[in-house]
Structure 1
């Protein structure tokens, strides 16, 4: 706030709490200078939720003590901190291969939210707006978001996933894509070899290298049903 805005703020406070009024010209001048120094980076009002008059009114109602410039500055900092805590950085339009431009755009976005020039973005926007056209074209070209060379490298670290992909590529139904009614293994989890004692208590729960036949049959039937549809 500039000196004119600070003078208006002090006049507003004087109407709400006469204890803060300075009658002497020198005292009033010193009071304006003190408040302006401490509230130099505090806006009078913003388009997104901040008005210094509302902060002053809240203090007068909540506290029996005369308001100080520090009280206003702390309320502004709390307001700004709350806005930033609710803000989720939108994906910059800058080229991600240009770190300086990417960072500069993020800083501009955060500064706009912190100063009240823009409202906080309270939802994740990493994938908002859909994929760009060039990404869509590449996915149609290679058939997957993961390039074949990268997928081949990843196969060493996720053999189960690689085996499922190879099975589907050969035209065999993906048994792990459905729930197993025999051992109750959920979708994506391998079947388990359950053994029971004569009294019915389970005594084994080893992972099977192959899914139960009933699970394979169910996956095949589901695939055929989808093809027919």
Structure 2
């Protein structure tokens, strides 16, 4: 704010709180100078939510003490921090290889947001509906979101899943499509190694590369029934 705007703010404040009014010309001049010293970088209003008059009005309504210029400055800093906290730094349009231009655009956007000249760029909400058509076409082409070459490399680290996929590819049943009656593994989960201790409780919970025989038999029976139906 410039001195003229500070004088307007003090006149507004005087109407709300007569205790702050200065009738002596010298005192009024000193008061304007003091407020301008502390509020020179605080705008009178911005396009997005800041109005120094609203800040003063809120203080008068909430506090029995006369407002000081530092109170306004602190509210302005809170406003800036809140806006920057909601800003997500969208990717600059500048060429990322041009480091200086890319950084200048990024900082310029942040300054504009902090100053209230631009609204914060928040995260876009997730769109509803199915996958993008391009993704559907790629999945239809490769048959899975994991390419075959990558799936083969991962087989060593996920033996249960690899055995399941191999059995399905050979026309057999999906063993993990049924619940295991022995280890109580849920559908889609690998079987677990369970040992019964002397106290009758189960010991161990390590995943098995091969499902329990009872689960295999149940999966085969379920698959045969589905094929016959």
TM-score (norm 1): 0.66
Matched pairs, number: 222
Unaligned runs of 5+ in 2: none
| Shift, 1:78, TM fit | 1.4
| Shift, 1:168, TM fit | 5.2
CA contact (8 A) 2:160 2:208 kept: no
Are the structure 2 counterparts of residues 205 and 61 from structure 1 closer, same or farther at C-alpha, using a change threshold of 3 Å? same
Provide the rounded CA distance (Å) in 2 between the counterparts of 1:49 and 1:220.
Answer: 67
The residue correspondences of 1:113-152 to structure 2 (distance < 5 A) are 113-116=113-116, 117-119=118-120, 121=122, 124-125=123-124, 141-143=141-143
Q: Which has the larger radius of gyration?
A: 2
Query: Residue 51 in 1 paired to residue 45 in 2?
Result: no
Provide the rounded CA distance (Å) in 1 between the counterparts of 2:114 and 2:96.
Answer: 27
Provide the rounded CA distance (Å) in 2 between the counterparts of 1:145 and 1:211.
Answer: 25
Alignment partner, residue 88 of structure 2:
89
Which stretch of structure 1 is more off in the superposition, 47-56 or 90-99? 90-99
TM-score (norm 2): 0.66
Query: Residue 2 in 1 paired to residue 2 in 2?
Result: yes
Q: CA RMSD in A?
A: 4.3
Cα shift readout 1:119-172 (whole Å, capped 9, x = no counterpart): 462xx4496699888777656555555555555555555555555555555555
Are the structure 2 counterparts of residues 47 and 175 from structure 1 closer, same or farther at C-alpha, using a change threshold of 3 Å? farther
CA contact (8 A) 1:89 1:109 kept: no
| Shift, 1:49, TM fit | 2.9
Alignment partner, residue 70 of structure 1:
70
Unaligned runs of 5+ in 1: none
Alignment partner, residue 41 of structure 1:
41
Cα shift readout 1:150-200 (whole Å, capped 9, x = no counterpart): 555555555555555555555555544665465332455321244557986
